[in-house]
A and B are shown apart, each in its own frame.
Chain A
Amino acid sequence: MSTAVRGRGAQHTLLRFLARRAVTSIILLFGIVLVTFSLTVIVPGDPVRAALGEGASSNPATVAAFREKYGLDQPVWIRFFRYVGNLLHGDLGTSMTTGRPISADLAKAVPATAEIALYAVIVSFAVAVVLGTLAAYRRGKVTDEVIRVVTLVGLSVPTFWMAILTYQLFFMQLHWVSGSGRISPTLTPPPTVTGFYTIDYMLNGDSVGFFDAVGHLALPVLVLSLFTIATLTRFVRTSVLEVLDMDYARAARAKGLSGRRVVVGYVLRGAALPILTLVGIAFGSLLSGTVLVEAVFAWPGLGTYAYNASKNLDLLAVTGVGLIVGVIYLVINLVVDVLYGVLDPRVRLS
């Protein structure tokens, strides 16, 4: 494909688009904070009892002191405004369970989960595109049916079960991959640059650490990818089928281009955008699966954090998690929209 004749001159339209999105995003963020905070307020359980346990909460003095410390004795709106005020300073409050600033907790937890999610998305995307395109091209034939059944099975497997099975098989029996946690107990984590152990080890030139981190990542990524591949493949297949029906695919063949050229340069290019939007949604289901996977592999990520916070009714921490998840969603949607503009000239140049 000749790149010499690429369109130009749409840079500042892109910037304006970004600026507009930034403003809407901030408004949305506020909405998310409002909603998550409200959720924690209407919780029927008593956070004090959950945090202190039955014994301590029968002592009124302890309870009062606790409430005062965490500001639970104030009316709701005062708490909300105090919260927002603190937010603007980057302070998300202190966790009732860990005793540490929530922002610090999240700063460690989010990259741990993001690392799995990122690799899972890359793997899922690659596999799904191949399988989905194959199924589309072999529509109605045996390959298509097989892929269809495989995806249905993939959608049916309980993630946590898969996690345990693979753990027992690949770690305990075969010793192919490493055990639970992000790295082996004997190693020290790399100096934090991105929070991604793989990248940070690489930046530090530590190959031992790098491969160890990879070994620990293998299973969580594999398990998490399974479900995503199953959903994505079906969608890729539909997108490719729609494109195949389009005249431009036929016209490309009429030009005498090779099959491969038609597939990559024309068909996949046409299907890329719809598939891209789905990647954004796939992130959502990935974050869900994360909770279960992290529980099995003792991964210190967002899922585990959210689980502990929920269980202990650590309201501020839960709000913090909600906030972070909302931010992640916003960022992903923003990136997808920008990519949409980049990839589709009809959007870009309107």
Chain B
Amino acid sequence: MNLIVPEKLAPRRRRALLPRAWRSPLAVAGTVVALGWIVVAVLAPWIAPHDPLAQDLPRLAPPSADAIMGTDGTGRDVFSRLVYGAQTTIPLALMLVVCAMIIGTVVGALAGYLGGWVDEVLMRVTDMVMAFPTVILAMVIAASLGPSILNAVIAGIIVAWPPYARITRSLVLGLRTQNYVIAGRLLGSSPLRSLLRDVLPNIAGPVLVLASLDIGTAILLLSGLSFLGLGAQPPTAEWGTMIASAVQNTSAWWLGLFPGLAILTVVMAFNFIGDSLRDVLDPLAAREREAESPTAVSAAAAEVAP
């Protein structure tokens, strides 16, 4: 039997919107930097001049021709460790966000779609997890699981999924009553098919925005936990642990500066991308950015400080 679900009834986000995001110089810069770092992470073994674990250089040496970012307390090349650090952190952060996104959207979709006590229970759990300060919760989980980078990622996933659940649920609730969804169901689509065809494409936007902004947060969380000793363990090259070593050796400025800059630039890049994506994909934010409707009060602005 043929199921004719009217295509016209389902408004899909047009792909044409995506290129618009890249008109902003910030987005372009962010994409370039982010891609750059991903390249670095992938090509680490070829870019790094030294073995990140080899302790054969003079200790605590300031930046020089041999080691352009100096060496650390056990004679390792900071630059090489920095480059390998990208390989440690970035893929794990991406994985963290993807997992959190999947878990969160599933929970949220279930809650929104099924409603009733399922919704109640799932949302209570979501609220409880969300209410706790993220770092403290992650810290407790990571500590109790045992300090390792993987456990830090798990802790991060547990802490990160609630916002996705929240946003997915409210989107699904809103969409459930849309005509084209109801029409689809009336024409015989199963709940699963309805979910996939009509609901999911329209959830994608805000969820992706959240995810892109979350990558930066994930990187900060992972490096933060590593800094505390609850994430990556020595001798793994990781930016957070590298900065931790800078706490004791305060005169060796190169120990802390470069890893910190690395974190800063990567997170900034993803935040720029996420922010520009938000302008394009999130209608609420976009509406305020377009000052299309004339408001007489913008003139008030001109008067307050000419």
CB–CB under 8 A between A and B in the complex? yes
Task: For A172, list chain B residues within 8 Å (CB).
Answer: 250
A313 and B143 form a contact (CB under 8 A):
yes
- A139-179: contact bitstring with B at CB < 8 Å (1 yes, 0 no)? 11000000011001101111111001101100010000000
B139 and A307 form a contact (CB under 8 A):
yes
A295 and B288 form a contact (CB under 8 A):
no
Task: For B134, list chain A residues within 8 Å (CB).
Answer: 284-285, 288
Partner of B136, one of A31, A155, A288: A288
- Answer whether residue B216 sits at the interface, using C-beta atoms and an 8 A cutoff: yes
- The stretch from A95-103, A123-131, A258-266 touching chain B is A258-266
Q: Known interface pairs A161-B256, A241-B288. Does A253 touch B297 (Cβ–Cβ under 8 Å)? A: yes
- Answer whether residue B198 sits at the interface, using C-beta atoms and an 8 A cutoff: no
- Answer whether residue B70 sits at the interface, using C-beta atoms and an 8 A cutoff: no
B300 and A158 form a contact (CB under 8 A):
no
Partner of B26, one of A149, A168, A303: A149
Give A176 Cβ to nearest chain B Cβ, in Å.
16
Task: For A153, list chain B residues within 8 Å (CB).
Answer: 264, 268
Give B7 Cβ to nearest chain A Cβ, in Å.
36
Give A270 Cβ to nearest chain B Cβ, in Å.
12
- Answer whether residue A229 sits at the interface, using C-beta atoms and an 8 A cutoff: no
Give A246 Cβ to nearest chain B Cβ, in Å.
8
- The stretch from A38-46, A84-92, A188-196 touching chain B is A38-46
Interface size class on chain A is 35 or more
A329 and chain B: residue at smallest CB distance: B131
Complex CA gap A148/B285 in Å reads 13
- Answer whether residue A238 sits at the interface, using C-beta atoms and an 8 A cutoff: yes
- Answer whether residue B140 sits at the interface, using C-beta atoms and an 8 A cutoff: yes
- Answer whether residue B58 sits at the interface, using C-beta atoms and an 8 A cutoff: no
Q: Known interface pairs A164-B246, A164-B256, A238-B288. Does A139 touch B216 (Cβ–Cβ under 8 Å)? A: no
Complex CA gap A310/B133 in Å reads 15
A291 and B136 form a contact (CB under 8 A):
yes
- Answer whether residue B74 sits at the interface, using C-beta atoms and an 8 A cutoff: no
Give A288 Cβ to nearest chain B Cβ, in Å.
4
B272 and A288 form a contact (CB under 8 A):
no
- Answer whether residue B173 sits at the interface, using C-beta atoms and an 8 A cutoff: no
Chain B stretch 99-141: residues in CB contact (< 8 A) with chain A:
128, 131-136, 139-140
Which positions in A face B, CB cutoff 8 Å? 31, 35, 39-40, 43-45, 137-140, 148-149, 152-153, 155-161, 164-165, 167-168, 172, 238, 241-242, 244-245, 249-250, 253, 259-260, 262-263, 284-285, 287-289, 291-292, 295-296, 303, 306-307, 310-311, 313, 318, 321-322, 325-326, 329
Interface pairs A-B: 9 shortest CB-CB: A310-B143, A259-B304, A161-B260, A288-B135, A137-B301, A43-B144, A156-B267, A287-B133, A288-B133
21 intermolecular pairs with C-beta atoms under 8 Å apart: A44-B146, A138-B301, A140-B289, A149-B26, A152-B272, A158-B240, A160-B227, A160-B243, A161-B256, A167-B250, A168-B250, A241-B288, A244-B298, A244-B301, A253-B300, A288-B134, A306-B139, A307-B228, A310-B143, A311-B230, A313-B143
